[in-house]
Amino acid sequence: MSYCASRFRTIRRPSVEVKVGAVGVGGNNPLRLQSMTTSDTQDIEATVKQSVALAEVGCEIVRITAPNPAAARCLREIRQKISAAGFAHVPLVADIHFLPQAAMEAVEHVEKVRVNPGNYADKKKFNVREYSDADYERELQRLHDAFSPLVRRAKELGRALRIGTNHGSLSDRVMNRYGDTPLGMVESALEFVRICETHGFHDIILSMKASNPKVMIQAYRLLASRMDTAHRPYPLHLGVTEAGDGEDGRIKSAIGIGSLLLDGLGDTIRVSLTEDSVYEIPVARAIADKAMSLWRDAPQGMTNSESRKTNDSGQSSIRHSSFVTGHSGAGQHDSVDPFQFTRRESVALQLGEACAIGPEQPPRVIVRASLAELADPSSAVHSQKLKDTPIEGVLVPIATTADLASVGASLDPATTSPAFVVLELAAAITPADLKAKIETSKIPLVLLRRFTAGDSTILHDFAVFVRGSGHVLACDIVPGDFPSLAAALRQLGDTNTIFTLSSRTASATHAVGAYRQLAEELRQIGSRAPIWIRNTPATAMQGDNSFLSKLLEVSFLTGGLLCDGLGDLVSIETEADVTRSAKLAYNVLQGAGARSSKTEFVACPSCGRTLFDLQTTTQRIRERTGHLKGVKIAIMGCIVNGPGEMADADFGYVGGAPGKINLYVGKQCVQYNLPQTGADDRLIALIKEHGKWADPAPALAPQ
Ligand code: SF4
């Protein structure tokens, strides 16, 4: 079962075009950017103002919540006023949970209606019980009856529908049969797709959002593989829900969305941030531009004329193409199971007493620094302030034997605080030079060198040196050079070896694909040596020196690979400031769920249903609890997505009623309707009661 044409190159998934008003989604259209208003929908002026502000910064589709029929009725005037302001071309989407009446009203006024298949017409909110096959069938019939009027009306009016599954709000029916799994998310959406298709309605867009990027990635992959074999290839709307704010929110979104876009999946995106929604658009624009830069040389999506060839049974001619039948040719896929997370099993390596690498260890963090910084005990490289985000390895360039002598002189365990040092060796440096200058170093060394197809002899010499000295060799070898070096690599073995790449390769259009190829080459020669993910200017898709661009590139490459189970060491060499480089690395590790260095916040972006100020509340709670490494706190404006959103969180702080907060421990609500004024203190008391509290570390004196 395959979900994309290639895991090494970006080949856009062919999809049918769905028109949302004047805006085409899928097919050969560019990636469309979306966001959502946060005002009370019945405050028409505020909602129009926010919608116009979004359109002005480049939002192409604006979503507005319609929590009840009264709010849905307001969409008529909102649509009129936005059009009168000069934005008639920007389609509106009504966001519906629970109430078919609200959907039936909204569909009259706006170009698209989003329904959540987990709670549409679902009265038994979040109770799980046993369903027999007969019960299940009865439920599906009930669903058919409840959803069909909306489908028929959307068809009459030429509206589009989004079937938007959320990991946290699957129906009791689906939870009972599939659990809160990616498969459950997919089945939840397909139940609704089948109802649409029985009415000959195909203007459908699908989404599979989750706050955990790994779950979200797996769900979309599974959806693509399932949908395109049995249904039309409907467009996909991508998003990581409740990603939070700031750097962390951007990273989580970029990991999930970027990973899928590199595999060619996705036709429209939303970056959900707990910030004013206009700030989502520049991030979405930058992500879309990077992804679309990879479309240039790849076959494009399904054309409109091809989409019209789709037959009446809902199946498409492209279901017989390489996209769905598996591999589109030799070397397009690897052996990773893309539907289930498993960390690649690497051998354990010990770099001195302080730092182990391997299957039981979190990915280690390396920063790039100069020889002068390494030699200066007061430089940030040696800072003790980075207690929870320590620099574990420092990478320094060695261009000459004089550099080698100088680094050898500065390698004093008393003043060198990183656990190990990586020497990036120029081609002219030989094992004999190393023997003369640094063989007896008391600091564990990793010798990084690029080897090409004709380097068998020198690779052999390095292998002999590291075996004799106890140091480690990091081989930078592009996958295409593996066959000619295979004999020397086998001789080298796994015990003193790491593999890495510092650039993209000719056979992969992005560095994620190149690293996947590298892992595959290692598997084929039987090597379980650790893999070091290097983010360098040459691994980037688009050169741009802004911090946002670097953050997105790192999230795509490092985050995407970690979600595939690849990566034992990480370095962000595109960021010159070593402290920022280390912090960014730890934030990406945290976003990918690979290593925790601080509290994790799952915070919704807020919308017209929000029952308290998400932004200030999140900041307030972060100030008091941000140091609780390994603790996950969910902050949600309402309970619409259900306690399932708290599935991974240790504690939940959720709007229960205006000014009232419900507190959760895991999925269990333990305190209802607390006045918001005392809710922060009660949350902290709960954290203490459950043994998860630690006092913040005293600030270190300036160095
Ligand atoms: S959880 Fe947040 S974004 Fe989602 S519906 Fe509730 S208030 Fe809106």
Query: Which element (helix H / strand E) includes 499?
Result: strand 497-501
Position 503 scores a pLDDT of: 84
Q: pLDDT per residue over 452-462, tens digit each?
A: 999 999 999 99
User: Are the CB atoms for 49 and 37 separated by under 8 Å?
Assistant: no
Give the mutation target among 98, 277, 635, 636 for probing the ligand 1 site: most ligand atoms within 8 A of CB: 636
Position 354 scores a pLDDT of: 81
Q: Atom 6, ligand 1: which residue's CA is nearest?
A: 638
Q: pLDDT per residue over 552-610, tens digit each?
A: 999 999 999 999 999 999 999 999 999 999 999 999 999 999 999 999 999 988 899 88
For residues 664-699, one letter each, b for 16 or more C-beta atoms within 10 angstroms of the residue's C-beta and e for the rest, the string is bbebebebeebebeebbebbbebbeeeebeeeeeee
Q: With a 6 A CB cut-off, is 606 part of the ligand 1 pocket? A: yes
Alpha helices in 20-96 (DSSP H): 44-56, 69-82
Q: What are phi and psi of 242, to 5 degrees?
A: 50, 45
Q: With a 6 A CB cut-off, is 640 part of the ligand 1 pocket? A: yes
Nearest Cα residue to 233 out of 324, 124, 351: 324
Residues 6+ apart with CB under 8 A from 391: 365, 366, 367, 381, 383, 417, 418, 578, 582
The list of the chain residues with pLDDT below 70 reads 123-128, 297-331, 641-645, 699-703
Q: Atom 8, ligand 1: which residue's CA is nearest?
A: 607
Nearest Cα residue to 348 out of 360, 336, 338, 358: 358
Q: With a 6 A CB cut-off, is 36 part of the ligand 1 pocket? A: no
Question: Which atom from ligand 1 is nearest to the alpha carbon of 608?
Answer: 8
Q: With a 6 A CB cut-off, is 39 part of the ligand 1 pocket? A: no
Nearest Cα residue to 158 out of 312, 278, 18: 18
Give the mutation target among 116, 638, 639, 664 for probing the ligand 1 site: most ligand atoms within 8 A of CB: 638
Q: With a 6 A CB cut-off, is 605 part of the ligand 1 pocket? A: yes
Residues 6+ apart with CB under 8 A from 33: 58, 59, 60, 61, 268, 269, 270, 281, 284, 285, 288
- Measure the CA–CA gap between 52 and 222, rounded to whole angstroms: 36
- Measure the CA–CA gap between 562 and 493, rounded to whole angstroms: 24
